[in-house]
Structure 1
Amino acid sequence: MIQFVTSNEGKVREAREYLPETVRQVNYDYTEIQSDDLEAIVTRGAREAYREIEGDEPVLVDDTGLFIDAFEGFPGPYSAYVDDTLGIERVQKLVEREENHRAAFRTVLGYCDGKTVETFEGSLRGRIVPPRGDGGFGYDPIFEHDGRTLAELSTEEKNAISHRARALAAFADWLAVQK
């Protein structure tokens, strides 16, 4: 059993597609350190979650950010805050002023078994465009990959190519070797 520390049921459903283990959702609000480094954030979060959640089962945490090339990777780990304060339309308008519209979504997973923390990264390259589509959440309407925004993809299409899916696939491969 792996305890996936998240309040997002969609993330849990996606994780269950990649992991042969049973994944159980656990709502625990671990302390998210302020850092420009997703790996540092999930490493600290995974250790804390393992210590604080009852039971002896390993935990999995994740953190995701939108890294805009023209802004030297900003907002990165601060993506949720920027979305909450500026909104995706303002972010898109700021990027529109720049020559370079390229960006990447990055997810880092942190797995803690009580002894060590292992991290796994997945990324998806694309570009920032005016909002399109009705699906997804967050920055999906302004993030275009292969001609369509993530908000224009079905959940299945998005999950097949997403940054989180790539991190989960790497984790699943590693986990299979550990057995």
Structure 2
Amino acid sequence: MSTSTTLNIIFISSNKNKVREVKSILADNLPIQIIPYEVDLLEFQSEDPDDITRAKCIEALRIISSDTNWIATNLNPKTSHLYSSSLNQCQNTQVTSTNPSTTLIMIEDTALNFDAWGGSLPGPYIKWFIKSIGPHGLFNTLQAFPDKSATAVCTFAIYTKFMPETTIKLSTIIQCMTRGVIVEPRGDNGFGWDPCFEPDSGPNMNIPLNDARRLTFAQMPSSQKNSISHRSKALLNLRNYLIKKYFSK
């Protein structure tokens, strides 16, 4: 694909904050159009983010395929060619692909894992924890535990097919992480659990825990958060993949 051609990415999300972050990182100075498709997908039960992301993609493909009015308004299905490939750039997996498409479908899943809870919970259920108890409640759940360490995990999957008669195969999956600690909420920026997540990297690197100089995601400007967050790491890996795949010829 030449740089004069636009790569359309349908991003399945009802979270406008995530859409904004995706646009600012993935489409920066590239002919990429992020097309949000707002739908609340079923919450699939698994502790494996890869399994959840795959299941979400299958569900999203089913919904989009039946939404003929939306397709007619936003896409030309005849331009959507199919291919299969695999990728996990965070783990340096070899990439193979054929028949590149100009229309992709993208799913994101976020997990937050507490070391004190075995390293896998709340995990992918963090969305419902935040909706139910908020950042202050999340912080309070760890008050009985001396270890407040946590890992933020972001998983992206991209598919290039939304035709219901074809077998759904994974095209691209990327997963990246950011280590940090859960603290009493501070800051007005960001969204979700940003106010109670204090990353160990970026401006907090080499600053001891419980030091007032440490910042939560919600205390950082978006540009600073986007330089170290789990989502930005995954998006930058995905961006590099897209450049090599679609814009380097």
- The equivalent residue for 1:44 is 55
- 1:140 positional shift: 1.2
CA gap 1:178/1:47 in 2 versus in 1, 3 angstroms? farther
Instruction: Give the structure-2-normalised TM-score.
Output: 0.66
- Is the aligned partner of 1:80 residue 2:127? yes
> Contact conserved, 2:17 with 2:191, CA < 8 A, in 1?
no
> Contact conserved, 1:108 with 1:119, CA < 8 A, in 2?
yes
- The equivalent residue for 1:64 is 110
- 1:166 positional shift: 0.7
- The equivalent residue for 1:10 is 17
Q: 2:177 aligns with which of 120, 123, 129?
A: 123
- 1:150 positional shift: 0.8
- 1:2 positional shift: 0.8
Instruction: Give the structure-1-normalised TM-score.
Output: 0.90
Rounded to whole Å, the distance in 2 between the matches of 1:84 and 1:9 is: 16
Long gaps (5+) in structure 2: 1-7, 65-70, 72-76, 81-102, 162-167, 205-213
Rounded to whole Å, the distance in 2 between the matches of 1:84 and 1:18 is: 27
- Is the aligned partner of 1:173 residue 2:240? yes
Rounded to whole Å, the distance in 2 between the matches of 1:166 and 1:127 is: 18
Rounded to whole Å, the distance in 1 between the matches of 2:221 and 2:241 is: 28
How is 1:20-169 mapped onto 2 (pairs within 5 angstroms)? Answer: 20=30, 21-53=32-64, 54=71, 55=77, 56=80, 57-72=103-118, 73-114=120-161, 116-117=169-170, 118-145=172-199, 146=204, 147-169=214-236
Choose 50-59 or 138-147, whichever is displaced more: 50-59
- The equivalent residue for 2:98 is none
Q: What letter is aligned with 1:133?
A: G
> Which secondary structure does the structure 1 equivalent of 2:226 belong to?
helix
> Contact conserved, 1:47 with 1:112, CA < 8 A, in 2?
no
- 1:169 positional shift: 0.9
- 1:105 positional shift: 1.1
CA gap 1:94/1:12 in 2 versus in 1, 3 angstroms? closer
Long gaps (5+) in structure 1: none
Q: What letter is aligned with 1:3?
A: I
Q: What letter is aligned with 2:116?
A: A
Choose 8-17 or 120-129, whichever is displaced more: 8-17
Rounded to whole Å, the distance in 2 between the matches of 1:15 and 1:85 is: 26
Q: What letter is aligned with 1:76?
A: G
Rounded to whole Å, the distance in 1 between the matches of 2:15 and 2:135 is: 20
Identity of aligned residues (%): 31
- 1:3 positional shift: 0.5
- 1:30 positional shift: 2.9
Query: Runs of 4 or more off by more than 4 Å in structure 1?
Result: none
- 1:4 positional shift: 0.7
Choose 12-21 or 152-161, whichever is displaced more: 12-21
Q: Deviations over 1:118-167 (max 9, x none)?
A: 21112111101111112212211111122211111112221222111111
Q: Deviations over 1:104-128 (max 9, x none)?
A: 1111011011253221112111101
- Return the structure number with greater helix share: 1
Larger Rg: 2
